[in-house]
Amino acid sequence: MANTYANTVTTKSAKTGASGTLLFNADGSYSASTTGPDGKPLAYQGKWMLKDGGATICLSPTLPNPPPPSCSPLTTHAVGESWTVTNDEGESFAVSLTAGR
């Protein structure tokens, strides 16, 4: 996770096409921005945690009536890399790690 702290993680849902950004912090918090179901920009904060010995990351947004945590396999990637991940709800995302915030 350390290589994400000063960089930007960008996601795109295979199901909806919605794109978002995640900015992870070393203290277990993150900031996210995406497009809400109404088509308007949505920014929110959350907490992240590792489980399964660091093999899984779980994101818990701090929203009113938040959804349950979303967990995904976690593998190390270098800045500039792109990959696909499927979360515990079966949703797939194209993910990339870019330099800077």
pLDDT in tens, the chain (101 residues): 999 999 999 999 999 898 999 999 999 999 999 987 788 899 999 999 999 999 999 999 998 888 899 999 999 999 999 999 999 999 999 999 999 99
Distance CA 72, CA 75 (A): 10
Q: Where are the domains of the chain?
A: 2-98
CA-closest candidate to residue 63, choices 31, 28, 24, 89: 31
CATH architecture of 2-98: Beta Barrel (2.40)
| pTM reported for the whole predicted model | 0.91
Residue 50, token pair as written in the block = 């590792």
The pLDDT value given to residue 94:
98
